Amino acid sequence: MRSWRRNRETGLEAELRANRPEPSRELVHQLEARVHQDGRRARGTFRVAVVSAVVVGMLAALGSAGGLGYAATGAGNAVNKAKRIVHVHGVTQVHKSAARDQYSRNRAKCRKGTKRVRGKCKKIKKARGVNFRRPPFTG
């Protein structure tokens, strides 16, 4: 499959390109001399002067209306917010919470006749006297 762009120049187009008019050498040399004489320094310094005058005028207008202080405060606030965002915080652990109590590791159970008191298994004192059982079945 051939692309329509591959052979761009047909016979007529090639002939027209070969016979197109070119500027004379004298005209080219005159244009070069004119460009070298004008230079870019004059235009560059004028642009810098205009831009600096506009900036000075804006600063004077903002200074008289209190806008510089407002802008400085806004910039300071933006810096503070950026510092807070970028600052690396450590992991916060909550030591006493309902979730920690509910999902904490299972502790080893105490043996029969003992009870956990402040993290340790202690022996339970048995009540002396009457054994508390269910009442007898009366039918």
pLDDT tens-digit map of 37-66: 766 555 678 888 999 999 998 888 877 777
Indicate the burial class of 110 (C-beta count within 10 angstroms; 0-12, 13-18, 19 or more): middle
Given this model, what pLDDT does residue 1 score? 45
pLDDT tens-digit map of 76-134: 899 998 888 887 777 888 788 888 778 877 777 888 888 888 888 888 887 666 666 77
Rounded to two decimals, the pTM is 0.27
Residue 87 corresponds to which tokens in the numbers above?
A: 């600052």
SS (HEC) of 74-125: HHHHHHHHHHHHHCCCCCCCCCCCHHHHHHCCCCCCCCCCEEEECCEEEECC
**CA distance from start to end of the chain:** 105
Q: Which helix (H) or strand (E) holds 45?
A: helix 41-65
Q: Which helix (H) or strand (E) holds 33?
A: helix 25-38
pLDDT tens-digit map of 94-105: 788 888 778 877
